[in-house]
Amino acid sequence: MVKREKGGFWIAFAAVFVYPLGWLFSRARYEGREHMPASGGALFVANHISHLDPIYSALFVHTARRVPRFLAKHSLWNVPVLRTVLRGSQQIAVYRDSADAQQSLREGTKALQAGKVVVIYPEGTITRDPDGWPMAARTGVARLALTADVPVLPAVHWGTRDVLDKYNHKFRPLPRKRVVVRCGPPVDLSAYRNRPVDAVLLREVTDLLMVKVRELLAEVRGEPAPEEFYRRTAS
């Protein structure tokens, strides 16, 4: 049996709460854990449809015997108690549209190069697509994927929005819903690694990764995916 990666006190502390929450809100199924490497860095690239997604991303990674490190919005570090858990478990604060944004990517790269599993939601927020398909994503995911030469794993959640739907202000924990988290095989980025890293390359790689995520979601949903990514309006 593969030995579990050690997460330390704060990961164990968080697990005490995350596992019961995952059970309480759903009948979850985790598929594709064989794609998660037993050791070494990996970038877990997932869609984002509900505020519950991090619970199930964390459970997927942890039940694969690895420790998740999330790239998460910095405002969470302002919440008492939670900020202590986030710091203690070595999560990574994301400062968008600020001078600190590059620092977030540097910290993410350091974690990957140190052999950690980093979880990122490239859309940056819960999708605005009315049907729950991924939106056009930010290019930070491509910079991480190209800077750290580690497996890049596309992943999807489906069913979490049936429990908690932010934009429609619905919370329906009962009856327990079916939630699926599926991880696909690593994306081959070898054709992109020797090219100069510029805006064109970053957008190309970002779109490639999100197409893989979208295709995986279409498999889980059992329906064809749209050909274009939903784009947020200026408002």
Spell out the domain ranges in the chain: 32-221
Architecture of domain 32-221: 3-Layer(aba) Sandwich (3.40)
Bridge partners (DSSP) of residue 152 are 43
Which regions in the chain score pLDDT beneath 50? 235
pLDDT (0 to 100) of residue 235: 46
Q: Measuring CA to CA, which residue among 102, 69, 61 is closest to residue 87?
A: 69
Alpha helices in 45-135 (DSSP H): 53-63, 82-88, 101-113
Three-class secondary structure of residue 100 per DSSP? coil
Distances (CA, A) of 57 to 31, 38, 76, 160, 205: 12, 17, 17, 11, 22
pLDDT (0 to 100) of residue 83: 85
pLDDT (0 to 100) of residue 10: 83
- Give the other-Cβ count within 10 Å of 81's Cβ: 7
Bridge partners (DSSP) of residue 153 are 44
